[in-house]
Amino acid sequence: MDDVWRYCASIIGPARADDATQETLIRVVKALPRFRGESSARTWLLSITRFVCIDDIRARGRQKRIFDKLSAQPFELESVSEHHPPELLEVLGLLRTDQREAFVLTQIMALPYQEAADLVGCPIGTIRSRVARARAGLIELLDEVDEPLEDETAG
């Protein structure tokens, strides 16, 4: 369930991740008789999680504003993972949603690229390019965090 919560926190924010995780569990229990085993159980679970997150965004009627807001300013990812530096978790919120989603699935949750592509519903090449763009964006953003402010160096 840690994967489900981390995914929710990365997509819709930590404040709503607990509720989304609980909703995912409810949907999983209801859908379990229909699980055909055509993908791994993890991919199936994360697919349900993804739809819960999408539904959460739609239910609030703010999908467009959320996407715009996420590209303009970060939201706090608090303790999404103890294994990643806090700077990385903070700047993840600055990435475009599609890039953040691909990066989280493949780099943080260690899903194979093909499974991530299946989960998101796009070609594997799209996932690879989103991850590459996310990496480049993260490097740029982390470099900005490391650069001292002009006022601090003047003296």
| Domain locations in the chain as residue ranges | 2-147
pLDDT of residue 95: 86
Of 53-67, 118-132, 141-155, give the lowest mean pLDDT range. 141-155
Mean pLDDT, residues 31-44 taken together: 90
Which SS3 state, helix, strand or coil, does residue 37 take? coil
> What's the pLDDT band for 111 if we cut at 50, 70, 90?
confident
Query: What confidence tens digit (pLDDT) does each residue in 4-25 have?
Result: 999 999 888 888 899 999 999 9
Tokens of 45: 């679970």
H-run or E-run covering 16: helix 14-31
Per cent of the chain over pLDDT 90 is 37
Of 65-69, 81-85, 112-116, give the lowest mean pLDDT range. 65-69
CATH of 2-147, one of 3.40.50.10800, 1.20.140.160, 3.40.190.150, 1.10.3210.10: 1.20.140.160
Query: What confidence tens digit (pLDDT) does each residue in 128-146 have?
Result: 999 999 988 887 776 665 5
Query: What confidence tens digit (pLDDT) does each residue in 59-81 have?
Result: 766 445 544 544 444 444 444 44
Question: For the chain, what is the mean pLDDT?
Answer: 78
Query: Residue 10 in contact with residue 100, Cβ under 8 Å?
Result: yes
